[in-house]
């Protein structure tokens, strides 16, 4: 009853049933925690399936997951789960980086010095600059990173 009163006072809601509180208390005394113990359940995939996936990708590492799914006759979601959780393999994403030229380094240094000088001279200069990582530059054509396959 004291626990229920304290719960109601603290949270302003209807407290859990007395039997439930006693069950939590007994579980805490036994295990040191009120969380449920892990249950033995049916595994997501069999070890034989995991081994088939391993062999399939060792034979041809550039194979698509759709193709492997068809060949092994397992759902693509199961195949992806095996690749991610068991083998820690993830899709390669192309990183788009700027192509630096030899004359870029001195220009960047000049720009940095100019900005530092303006910060010293003009009060609140940095407050008028908007910094963002959201930008799109198409110098040599458009690249859709989601469709690039290597």
pLDDT at residue 84, as a whole number: 94
Q: Each residue's pLDDT tens digit in the chain (150 positions)?
A: 688 888 889 998 999 898 998 999 999 999 899 898 888 888 778 999 999 999 999 999 989 999 999 999 999 999 999 999 999 998 877 777 778 889 999 999 999 999 999 999 998 898 888 877 766 656 666 666 666 555
pLDDT at residue 123, as a whole number: 87
Q: How far apart are CA 65 and CA 74, in angstroms?
A: 11
pLDDT at residue 115, as a whole number: 93
- Is there a contact between 72 and 56 (Cβ–Cβ < 8 Å)? yes
Backbone angles phi, psi at 8, to 5 degrees: -60, -40
The model's pTM: 0.46
pLDDT at residue 77, as a whole number: 94
Token pair of 34 as six digits: 């009120």
- Is there a contact between 57 and 86 (Cβ–Cβ < 8 Å)? no
pLDDT at residue 66, as a whole number: 95
pLDDT at residue 29, as a whole number: 92
End-to-end CA distance of the chain: 65
pLDDT at residue 129, as a whole number: 87
Give per-residue burial for 8-37: e unless 16+ CB within 10 Å, then b: eeeeeeebeeeeeeeeeeeeeeeeeeeeee
């Amino acid at each position: 009853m004291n626990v229920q009163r304290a719960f109601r006072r603290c949270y302003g809601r209807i407290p859990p049933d007395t039997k439930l509180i006693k069950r939590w208390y007994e579980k805490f005394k036994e295990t040191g925690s009120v969380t449920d113990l892990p249950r033995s359940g049916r595994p997501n995939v069999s070890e034989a399936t995991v081994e088939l996936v391993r062999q399939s990708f060792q034979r041809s590492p550039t194979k698509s997951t759709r193709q492997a799914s068809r060949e092994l006759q397992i759902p693509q979601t199961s195949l992806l789960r095996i690749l991610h959780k068991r083998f820690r393999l993830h899709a390669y994403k192309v990183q788009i980086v700027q192509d630096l030229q030899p004359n870029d380094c001195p220009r960047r240094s000049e720009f940095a010095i100019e900005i530092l000088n303006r910060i010293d001279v003009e009060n609140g200069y940095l407050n008028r600059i908007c910094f963002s990582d959201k930008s799109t530059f198409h110098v040599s054509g458009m690249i859709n990173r989601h469709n690039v396959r290597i």
